[in-house]
Structure 1
Amino acid sequence: MNLTDWLGTIGVLQILLAYFLNVIGKVSSKSLAFILLNLIGASMACFASVLLKYWPFIVLEGVWALVSLYSFINYLSKPRI
């Protein structure tokens, strides 16, 4: 496997880990861990797709990363007690 394969694989595994942990009730979809796993994973998978020049996944992972970034910004902007 080359660097692009590793980036894409690790990115996708992070997204799947976030989903799995959410489904089994270990993390909430509003938790920082869930948001960061998706943000970092989608960004890595998007970057790998850019390196491969594979537009369908550039769009998919790019949108996924942007939605995750939006969630991260919302998470940071909420007051903590």
Structure 2
Amino acid sequence: MSQAVQIIGSLLVLSAFVLSQRGVLKQDSLPYIVLNLVGSGALAVEAALGAQWGFLLLEGVWAIVSAFGLVTLLRARALAARSR
């Protein structure tokens, strides 16, 4: 199961990156942020369970940054909706 979670998490993060590089997703779009958050979050949990501290640092920070990006995006959307 651990390998499957790692592969799926990696594919989510990599797909966001590839789609961004191809101009399909913007880096401040909801799908891009969610792909990064879910993928890096899953990888961070796997790293913590496996006591892989360097990998946990990388993916944990990636997940935290993605979570802040999601909160920022959702707040901006809520503010825009209120001002209509």
Which TM-score band (shorter chain)? over 0.9
Unaligned runs of 5+ in 2: none
The partner residue of 1:57 within 55, 64, 72 is 55
Runs of 4+ in 1 over 3 A off after TM superposition: none
**Contact 1:18–1:34 at 8 Å: present in 2 too?**
yes
TM-superposition CA deviations, 1:24-67 (whole Å, max 9, x none): 00000010000000000000011111121100001100000000
Matching residue of 1:72: 70
Q: Percent identity?
A: 33
The equivalent of 1:30 in structure 2 is 28
- Structure 1 gap segments, 5+ residues each: none
Contact 1:4–1:51 (CA under 8 A) maintained in structure 2: no
Q: TM-score, normalised by structure 2?
A: 0.89
Highest CA radius of gyration, 1 or 2? 2
Give the TM-score normalised by the residue count of structure 1.
0.93
- Count how many residue pairs are aligned between Structure 1 and Structure 2: 79
Matched residues in 2 for 1:17 and 1:39: separation?
A: 12
